[in-house]
Amino acid sequence: MGYKLAGFEHLGGVEIDPKVADVYKANHKPKHLFVEDIRAFNERTDLPAELYKLDILDGSPPCSTFSMAGSREKGWGKEKVFREGQALQTLDDLVFVYCDTIAKLKPKVFLLENVKGIIQGNAKWYSKQIVSRMEAHGYKVQVFCLNAASMGVPQKRERVFFIGHKKEFDLPRLVLRFEEKGITFGEVFDGLVGRPLKEGSLYLENWNIKKPNDKTFSKIETRKGRGAAYGTGRVFLSKDSVSATIVGQSEYILHSHPNFVHDSDVCKIGSYPLDYNFKGIEPKYLIGMSVPPVMTAQIAHQIWLQWLSKIKPITGE
């Protein structure tokens, strides 16, 4: 969606989860869709020629093992059945598998997106490896930590982008500065509410005793003496502030009403169209797994302006 908004022609992608691939196919009708592990894709010898002539290749290896909210180091190198594909696999090494994909297709420009945690603590090793590997494959690489809230997305969502171009192109360093005013939840809330908080539930109990500045259940649970952990993943959305990051495993409750947030507002917070066909997948999950389309569009537009528009066509392409 983001690349379409920026004026690019979308060709397709690789997705291991059949259900997510089905949603992708229904909404975007990709010319080339490979429903398989990226490792299997890297072994292919039957790829269409146009995939070796890409302006941009964009990849988002699953990021749960680098999230500061996850197990991090304890999960690195271990096989586990993750929801992303429902397959026994390791995820922390997929950033390097994607580096192999870039080296295979050799696009003019590549993007590798992940959570902020990949540049923090011991995970910095992965970041340094990504940069060194891609430099060895002939790319100049820059690393950006960007907040979607400064880019026209009504959500505080920080993400890291490794962006590189082939060294053969004489291009300046990419400058990505976005300073748009944050869009509060009140500016997108249209009065629709989701399902009500159930009588007798912890959700309603905490909603009734919340304070004006409470952003999560953790604050309330701490005051109750049960500890912050009891409130993890339960977030209030207030009209006067920019929405917190949408995460598929969290619950979002209106601060102004004893109701969960409506799916239409989740779409707006994620910069998804209201008529997007989720094909039965919970919008919160898919949007929480995504780079907001408007965020991608902003970055892609600058890559076009500062880089791709200045590259002279190569004879034979």
Instruction: Output the pLDDT for position 82.
Output: 53
pLDDT at residue 28, rounded to an integer: 96
Burial of 5 (0-12, 13-18, 19+ CB in 10 A): middle
Q: What is the pLDDT of residue 296?
A: 98
CB–CB of 33/21 below 8 Å? Answer: yes
For 279-290, how does the pLDDT look when each residue is reduced to its tens digit (9 = 90+)? Answer: 999 999 999 999
Q: How high is the pLDDT of residue 122?
A: 86
The total number of residues written for the chain in this structure:
317
At residue 189, the pLDDT reads 97
User: pTM for the whole thing?
Assistant: 0.90
The continuous run of DSSP H or E covering 170 comes out as none
Q: Is 293 exposed, middle or buried (0-12, 13-18, 19+ CB in 10 A)?
A: buried
Contact 140, 87 (CB under 8 A): no
How far is the C-alpha of 275 from the C-alpha of 131, rounded, in Å?
38
In angstroms, rounded to a whole number, what is the distance separating the alpha carbons of residues 120 and 144? 13
What pLDDT, in 10s, does the model give residues 175-212?
Answer: 999 999 999 999 999 999 999 999 999 999 999 999 99
Distance CA 58, CA 40 (A): 18
| CB neighbours of residue 100 within 10 Å | 16
pLDDT of residue 48: 97
Q: Closest Cα to residue 275, out of 263, 285, 286?
A: 263
Question: Collapsing DSSP states into helix, strand and coil, what is residue 113?
Answer: strand
Which residues in the chain show pLDDT less than 50? 68, 70-72, 76, 315-317
Can you give the pLDDT at residue 232?
A: 84
Which SS3 state, helix, strand or coil, does residue 140 take?
A: strand
For 12, phi then psi, to 5°, come to 155, -165
Which residues, 6+ apart, have CB-to-CB distance to 201 below 8 Å?
A: none
Q: What is the pLDDT of residue 317?
A: 46
In the chain, which residues fall in CATH 3.40.50.150? 2-180+291-310
Asked: is 2-180+291-310 a CATH 3.90.400.10 domain? The reply is no
